[in-house]
């Protein structure tokens, strides 16, 4: 195992396109880091640079205290799991797992011991003599992980390994990966565009956009204390509600159905702000746990999810999603009194989209 240091790393191509714009990330020994963001944000490019598959334009990448910028992938002591499994179709599961060990000239007897141990860890023992074509998607991904684990590297790199799986398998494999990390404790960097994976798997998350880390912190910090509107909107499902309005000494003006309610959020100097509230912080008043202010809103859409119901209304001209109790007497076109937990409110500057408080 080893720590990972990414220091002012930049990536630019000959045509002048700058993909990464000064990335600084420190990953502790044994930590699970998530790189998350939309397509084109630079997360996979950064992972490839850590692996040695892309050159670093400037800055340093160090693994275990050793700068690896000029080292080829095989000299970095890393193991990578790809989205596409990348298994050898003519080899059995046993041979796929042992492939890297053979290249490193590990004795046959030791190879057998390692393969048996890895197969037991990943529940692949009964599949060792099958070929990839005979396996399900989840089983193939476990074999790809097994091949990486067998090498006992300093660093695991995962490049969107679950994106080819169906929803049920993704949940199952997510749990497998988390349990595996708890058992092995190997430093891991995991790339995904799925914010649910990011929240459930990572010790810390780097949220990326346009080649820049927008926020770096624990899942709870990123969720509860987003530093800008991009992070607030990207992390969370459904995403945070953004309600633009006027705030001043008397409160935040909230217009609903022709009426105006002043929410008890104040500033000494009146100004335009964006109020951010997550759906679980706007609920039906009957089931509210806090004594937050109430607003009578007309519901436009209901989406039952089982444990609760998502309800959509319009406040200050913005579509707002709330979470209400499934038993709430709610129907589209009907009014429902909503309670706001303003202790969880976040205010943003509408011009810069940065957090005010």
Number of C-beta neighbours around residue 113 at 10 A? 12
* CA separation for the pair 114, 137 (Å, rounded): 23
pLDDT digits (tens, 9 = 90+) for 170-201: 888 888 889 889 988 999 999 999 999 999 99
Tell me if 109 is assigned to some domain.
yes
Model pLDDT, residue 313: 94
Rounded (10°) angle between helices 108-121 and 137-150? 130
User: Are residues 230 and 212 in contact, defined by beta-carbon separation less than 8 angstroms?
Assistant: no
User: In sequence order, what are the beta bridge partners of 178?
Assistant: none
% of the chain residues with pLDDT over 90:
70
Q: Is residue 1 pLDDT above 70, yes or no?
A: no
Of 234, 263, 282, which one is at a domain's C-terminal end? 234
Of 234, 255, 289, which one is at a domain's C-terminal end? 234
User: Are residues 337 and 327 in contact, defined by beta-carbon separation less than 8 angstroms?
Assistant: no
The residue among 289 and 348 whose pLDDT is bigger is: 348
Q: Average pLDDT for residues 191-217, to the nearest whole number?
A: 96
Q: Tokens 């430093």 belong to which residue?
A: 187
Helix then strand then coil, in percent of the chain rounded to 5, is: 30, 35, 35
Tell me if 261 is assigned to some domain.
yes
Q: Is residue 107 pLDDT above 70, yes or no?
A: yes
298 and 198 co-located in one domain? no
Model pLDDT, residue 167: 83
Q: Average pLDDT for residues 300-319, to the nearest whole number?
A: 92
40 and 151 co-located in one domain? yes
136 and 230 co-located in one domain? yes
295 and 169 co-located in one domain? no
Tell me if 172 is assigned to some domain.
yes
Tell me if 356 is assigned to some domain.
no
Strand order across the beta sheet in which 66-67 lies: 18-27, 4-12, 58-63, 66-67
216 and 270 co-located in one domain? no
205 and 297 co-located in one domain? no
End-to-end CA distance of the chain: 39
Model pLDDT, residue 129: 94
CATH number at residue 87: 3.40.50.300
Query: If residue 25 lies in a helix (H) or strand (E), which one and from where to where?
Result: strand 18-27
245 and 230 co-located in one domain? no
> What is the count of structural domains for the chain?
2
44 and 128 co-located in one domain? yes
92 and 15 co-located in one domain? yes
197 and 268 co-located in one domain? no
Model pLDDT, residue 141: 87
Nearest residue to 178 via CA among 167, 190, 163, 160: 190
User: In sequence order, what are the beta bridge partners of 298?
Assistant: 335
Model pLDDT, residue 171: 87
User: Are residues 61 and 50 in contact, defined by beta-carbon separation less than 8 angstroms?
Assistant: yes
Model pLDDT, residue 55: 95
Q: Please give the DSSP secondary-structure letter assigned to residue 73.
A: G
pLDDT digits (tens, 9 = 90+) for 135-150: 988 889 889 989 988 8
| pTM score, whole prediction | 0.89
| Structural domain for 183, as ranges | 4-234
Q: Is residue 221 pLDDT above 90, yes or no?
A: yes
**Whole-number average pLDDT of the chain:** 92
Tell me if 70 is assigned to some domain.
yes
Tell me if 357 is assigned to some domain.
no
pLDDT tier, 274 (very low <50, low <70, confident <90, very high otherwise): very high
Tell me if 354 is assigned to some domain.
no
Tell me if 220 is assigned to some domain.
yes
User: In sequence order, what are the beta bridge partners of 81?
Assistant: 158
What is the number of alpha carbons within 13 Å of residue 206 lying toward its C-beta?
A: 25
Of 210, 234, 258, which one is at a domain's C-terminal end? 234
Phi, psi of 74 (to 5 degrees): -65, -20
CATH number at residue 254: 2.40.50.140
187 and 327 co-located in one domain? no
* CA separation for the pair 50, 73 (Å, rounded): 9
The residue among 328 and 135 whose pLDDT is bigger is: 135
Q: Is residue 152 pLDDT above 90, yes or no?
A: no
23 and 94 co-located in one domain? yes
pLDDT digits (tens, 9 = 90+) for 229-252: 999 999 998 999 999 999 999 999
* CA separation for the pair 315, 294 (Å, rounded): 13
Q: Is residue 290 pLDDT above 70, yes or no?
A: no
Query: If residue 179 lies in a helix (H) or strand (E), which one and from where to where?
Result: helix 167-184
């Amino acid at each position: 195992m080893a720590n990972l240091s990414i220091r002012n790393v930049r990536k630019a191509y000959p045509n002048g396109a700058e993909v990464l714009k000064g990335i600084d990330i420190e990953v502790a020994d044994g930590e699970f880091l998530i790189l998350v963001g939309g397509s084109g944000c630079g997360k996979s490019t950064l992972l490839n640079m850590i692996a040695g598959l892309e050159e670093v334009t400037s800055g340093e990448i160090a693994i275990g205290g050793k700068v690896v910028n000029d080292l080829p992938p095989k000299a970095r002591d890393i193991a990578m799991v790809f989205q596409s499994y990348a298994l050898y179709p003519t080899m059995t599961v046993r041979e796929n797992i042992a492939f890297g060990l053979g290249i490193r000239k590990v004795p046959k007897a030791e190879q057998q011991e390692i393969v048996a141990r890895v197969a037991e860890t990943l529940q692949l023992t009964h599949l060792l003599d099958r070929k990839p074509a005979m396996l399900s998607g989840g089983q193939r991904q476990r074999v790809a992980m097994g091949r990486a684990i067998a090498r006992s590297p300093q660093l695991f790199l995962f490049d969107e390994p679950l994106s080819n799986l169906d929803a049920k398998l993704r949940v199952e494999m997510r749990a497998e990966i988390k349990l595996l990390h708890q058992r092995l404790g190997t430093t891991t960097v995991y790339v995904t565009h799925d914010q649910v994976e990011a929240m459930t798997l990572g010790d810390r998350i780097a949220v990326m956009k346009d080649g820049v880390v927008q926020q770096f912190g624990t899942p709870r910090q990123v969720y509860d204390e987003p530093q800008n509107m991009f992070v607030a909107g990207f992390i969370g499902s459904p995403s945070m509600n953004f309600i633009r309005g006027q705030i001043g000494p008397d409160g935040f003006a909230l217009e609903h159905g022709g009426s105006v309610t002043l929410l008890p959020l104040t500033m000494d100097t009146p100004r335009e702000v964006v109020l951010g509230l997550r759906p679980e912080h706007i609920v039906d008043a009957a089931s509210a746990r806090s004594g937050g202010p109430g607003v009578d809103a007309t519901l436009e859409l209901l989406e039952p999810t089982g444990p609760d119901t998502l309800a959509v209304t319009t406040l200050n001209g913005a579509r707002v999603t709330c979470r209400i109790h499934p038993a709430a007497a709610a129907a589209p076109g009907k009014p429902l009194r909503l309670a706001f937990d303003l202790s969880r409110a976040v205010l943003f500057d509408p011009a810069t989209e940065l957090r005010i408080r």
